[in-house]
């Protein structure tokens, strides 16, 4: 009731706000052009759905080792062991499928086999803008956009030479719990990144972007590290204003190790049995595109061929896999004279893969056709779209249409309202159906019976832009409601019954757990002020979500002993019907002050305590083999609070220095059972930028 009262007061304040000093042509902080909402450029405040644009200072003025460190600053977005979740729409699934679609320049960046994100393959050194679209987006982007979209838009060829080179180093501090600090010599990670773009020719019709990274991570976990390199090349040819042809290539090489379960909470940085899964990966992709504009109609064709290999294993187990995929998409957009934009397209994706991890070879296809109409008027906008999606994996077929509708209106100068409703649909990944692996003695079990999950999202939002003198900003409040049918959850239990073994019969598998509902409210804001010689920039966000099991007694499976499994019987704390591995409260904030050539900033992230997990983790029998989960929950039951500090200096016109203290309070956190997040670290980055 307290939350509802404060929310009502805030909404009343928004409606009564009088932004009379906001000029009609003013540019307010974060009032950007985005493309993710409707696949065409529009002003951020005119979208019919919630879209956040992360400020470039979070990307460029912090010494980030990975791009996910930037993305986790978006309000409502959390990352659990590398998996992105938006507004508690997902739990934890070990990289086996994602309800959040990650795009790089309009193309999916999820792995074809597991449907997860290879974050270290993301081109963070050339990211121009990061857009986060919240809510079901399957009608425009397909299956994996059930919970939202994270879109990384990279550099396009510039008219003049543009260069950015940076080198960063990070050193881990000793953790607060002395028994965790297994290393004697300093450990850390570092990266060398570069990006350049230019255009050439008499009319600048040829454009080129080249960027890449060398990355090395010794790791804070025993035997867990990462060595990788990647190169991206983008070529664009524009012989006229009507025609554009492009070619883009990517190569990524990685030698890394990973661990699923700790030895114990007291030794949480040491893997179970002091063993880690070693993986060597090679990925190559080649993308071509053609764009042709004929009067008010734009035709776009993209074709991407990708191949990958993973040589992976633990002890005598071989988890290697390889595969190829071909992605073809045609898009037609007609920009009508009466403010109506029509978008239509078709997509075909074919993939083949082979691995003992997935019990042999598999072939899959995904076809889709979609259409959308966007109507723009002086004070309001409307969107209506439909998509038909079809999947086939080894002869198993599924298809379903999904719809979306949205409305935006400018209530008065600076105050914008929006409402949207959208359906979502997600087909299980190859890994969710066929993965059969192990992490030490624990297993990951296949489940070929899993069904596609579907759902819908609705949202009501208000955004107030304001400006007063040398201060400007915005406040946004959104109410959201999501429902899923046949939701897939990664579930820990006894799925094997092999005589003579104990822990080898236990592990994880994907299960359809029944109907769920997620309701909540989200507040975001940003501001910029000039106080004498000091410039201040700030952003903040808070998300309250209630992810609930609607039928907690529904029996969705039986384990290997024939015991009936339901939400109630498998949850550690079913009292509030909260879904497993979710946060009810999340908050983010970033503040930076700049005085002449000096910058001082801080970032804060907070996640409330994860009150519900699989109850079997605290079972006395399992605790013998996976010790310390109950102890960690007792010790870390106040939630996760991370504070980062940073300092920057513009040494010359083109050379800058960034220093940072990440997790400054050296707080311990457990993003999922049997895993501890990294300790405090010190970072240093030197950057050179031209244009």
pLDDT above 70: residue 596: yes
What pLDDT is recorded for position 395?
Answer: 77
How far apart CA 102 and CA 118 sit, in angstroms, is 10
> How much is the pLDDT for 516?
94
Nearest to 106 by CA among 77, 73, 142, 78: 142
Going by the DSSP 8-state scheme, the letter that residue 75 receives in this structure is T
Q: Which residues contact 615 (CB under 8 A, 6 or more apart)?
A: 570, 571, 572
> Does 19 have pLDDT greater than 50?
no
Instruction: State the pLDDT confidence band at 438, using cuts at 50, 70 and 90.
Output: low
> Which one has a higher pLDDT value, 313 or 408?
408
More confident residue, 429 or 442: 429
Buried b (16+ CB within 10 A) or exposed e, 37-50: bbbeebebbbbbbb
Note the pLDDT tens digit of each residue in 563-592: 999 999 999 999 999 999 999 999 999 999
Of 347-356, 367-376, 507-516, 617-626, where does the model show the most confidence? 367-376
Q: Which residues contact 593 (CB under 8 A, 6 or more apart)?
A: 534, 535, 536, 599, 600, 601
Q: What is the pLDDT of residue 136?
A: 73
Q: What is the pLDDT of residue 110?
A: 74
Do 155 and 666 meet the contact criterion of CB atoms below 8 Å apart?
no
**Interatomic CA distance for residues 263 and 254, integer angstroms:** 26
Nearest to 86 by CA among 522, 590, 383: 522
* CA gap 508, 491 in Å, rounded: 5
pLDDT in tens, 40-68: 778 888 888 989 988 888 888 888 888 88
Residues 6+ apart with CB under 8 A from 484: 453, 454, 455, 515, 516, 517, 518
Question: What integer best gives the mean pLDDT of the chain?
Answer: 87
pLDDT at position 13 is: 37
Cα 238 → chain centroid: 33
Q: What Å distances lie between residue 26 and 20, 129, 418, CA to CA? A: 12, 21, 21
In order, the DSSP letters of 615-630 are GGGG-HHHHHHSTTHH
* 50: CB partners within 8 A, 6+ apart: 133, 134, 135, 418, 459, 461, 476, 478, 480, 522
pLDDT digits (tens, 9 = 90+) for 100-141: 888 999 888 877 666 677 888 889 899 999 999 997 776 678
Give dist(CA 502, CA 554) in Å, integer: 28
Token reading at 72: 């986790």
Which backbone phi and psi does 559 adopt, to 5 degrees?
Answer: -85, -175
Task: Tell me the Ramachandran region of residue 61: left when phi exceeds 0, alpha when psi lies from -120 to 50, beta otherwise.
Answer: alpha
Q: What is the mean pLDDT of residues 237-241?
A: 94
**pLDDT > 70: what percent of the chain?**
92
d(CA 351, CA 360): 14
Please give the pLDDT value at position 96. Answer: 57
pLDDT for res 32? 67
Report the CATH number at residue 6.
2.40.170.20
The 10s digit of each residue's pLDDT in 181-197 is 999 999 999 999 999 99
Look at residue 269 and tell me whether its pLDDT is greater than 50.
yes
Strands (E), 182-296: 188-200, 206-217, 226-237, 243-258, 277-294
Pairing of the two strands 655-662 and 681-690: antiparallel
CB atoms within 10 A of CB 451: 12
Residues pairing with 362 in the sheet: 353
Angle at 223 between CA 214 and CA 269, to 5 degrees: 110
> Is the confidence at residue 636, as pLDDT, over 90?
yes
Residue span of the structural domain in which 424 resides: 2-690
Total domains in the chain come to 1
Tokens of 308: 């990958």
271 exposure class (CB count in 10 Å sphere: 0-12, 13-18, 19+): buried
Q: Which of 294-308, 434-448, 528-542, 656-670 has the lowest mean pLDDT?
A: 434-448
Identify whether the C-beta of residue 455 lies closer than 8 Å to the C-beta of residue 136: yes
| Euclidean distance between CA atoms 511 and 452, whole angstroms | 11
- Its pTM stands at 0.91
Task: Provide the CA 328 distance to its chain's centre, in angstroms.
Answer: 23
């Amino acid at each position: 009731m307290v939350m509802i009262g404060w929310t009502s007061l805030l909404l009343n304040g928004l409606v009564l706000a009088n932004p009379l000093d906001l000029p009609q042509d003013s540019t307010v902080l974060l009032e950007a052009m985005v493309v993710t909402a409707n696949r065409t450029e529009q002003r951020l405040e005119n979208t019919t759905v919630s879209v956040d644009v992360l400020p470039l200072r979070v990307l460029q003025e912090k010494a980030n080792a990975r791009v996910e460190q930037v993305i986790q600053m978006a309000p409502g977005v959390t990352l659990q062991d590398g998996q992105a979740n938006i507004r508690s729409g997902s739990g934890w699934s070990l990289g086996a499928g994602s309800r959040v679609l990650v795009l790089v320049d309009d193309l999916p960046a999820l792995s074809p086999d597991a449907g997860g994100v290879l974050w270290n393959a993301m081109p963070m050194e050339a990211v121009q803008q990061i857009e986060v679209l919240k809510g079901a987006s399957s009608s425009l982007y397909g299956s994996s956009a059930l919970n939202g979209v994270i879109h990384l838009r990279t550099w396009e060829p510039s008219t003049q030479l543009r260069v950015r080179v940076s080198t960063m180093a990070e050193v881990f501090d000793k953790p607060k719990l002395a028994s965790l600090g297994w290393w004697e010599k300093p450990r850390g990670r570092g990266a060398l990144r570069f990006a350049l773009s230019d255009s050439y020719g008499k009319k600048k019709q040829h454009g080129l972007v080249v960027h890449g990274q060398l990355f090395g991570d010794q790791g804070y976990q025993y035997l867990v590290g990462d060595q990788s390199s990647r190169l991206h090349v983008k070529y664009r040819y524009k012989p006229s204003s009507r025609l554009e042809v492009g070619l883009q290539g990517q190569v990524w090489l990685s030698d890394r190790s990973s661990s699923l379960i700790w030895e114990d909470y007291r030794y949480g940085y040491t893997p179970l049995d002091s063993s880690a899964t070693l993986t060597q990966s090679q990925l190559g992709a080649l993308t071509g595109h053609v764009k042709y504009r004929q009067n008010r109609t734009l035709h776009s064709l993209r074709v991407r061929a990708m191949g990958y290999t993973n040589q992976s294993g633990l002890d005598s187990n071989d988890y290697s896999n390889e595969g190829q995929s071909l992605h073809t998409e045609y898009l037609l957009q007609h920009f009508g004279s009466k403010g109506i934009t029509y978008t239509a397209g078709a997509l075909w994706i074919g993939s083949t893969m082979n691995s003992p991890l997935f019990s042999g070879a598999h072939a899959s296809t995904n076809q889709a056709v979609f259409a959308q109409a966007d109507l723009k008027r002086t004070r309001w906008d409307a969107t209506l779209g439909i998509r038909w999606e079809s999947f086939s994996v080894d002869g198993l077929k599924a298809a379903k249409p999904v719809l979306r509708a949205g409305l935006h209106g400018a209530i008065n100068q600076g105050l914008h309202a929006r409402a949207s409703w959208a359906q979502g649909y997600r087909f299980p990944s190859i890994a969710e159906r066929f993965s059969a692996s192990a992490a030490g003695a624990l297993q990951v079990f296949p489940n070929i019976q899993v069904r596609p999950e579907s759902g819908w999202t609705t949202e009501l939002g208000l955004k107030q832009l304001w400006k007063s003198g040398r201060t400007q900003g915005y406040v946004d409040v959104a109410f959201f409601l999501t429902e899923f049918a046949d939701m897939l959850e990664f579930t820990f239990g006894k799925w094997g019954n092999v005589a003579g073994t104990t822990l080898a019969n236990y592990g994880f598998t994907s299960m359809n757990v029944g109907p769920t509902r997620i309701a909540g409210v989200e507040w975001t804001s940003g501001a910029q002020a000039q106080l004498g010689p000091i410039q201040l920039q700030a952003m903040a966000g808070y998300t309250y979500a209630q992810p609930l099991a609607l039928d907690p007694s529904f029996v969705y499976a039986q384990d290997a002993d024939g015991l009936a499994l339901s939400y109630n019987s498998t949850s550690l704390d079913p009292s509030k019907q909260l879904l497993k591995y979710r946060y009810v409260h999340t908050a983010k904030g970033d503040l930076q002050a700049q005085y002449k050539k000096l910058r001082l900033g801080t970032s804060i992230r907070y996640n409330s305590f994860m009150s519900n997990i699989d109850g079997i983790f605290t079972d006395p029998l399992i605790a013998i083999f996976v010790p310390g989960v109950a102890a960690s929950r007792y010790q870390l039951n106040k939630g996760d609070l991370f504070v980062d500090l940073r300092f920057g200096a513009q040494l010359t016109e083109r050379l800058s220095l960034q220093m940072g203290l990440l997790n400054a309070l050296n707080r311990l956190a457990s993003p999922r059972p049997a895993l501890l997040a990294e300790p405090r670290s010190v970072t240093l980055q030197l950057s050179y930028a031209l244009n």
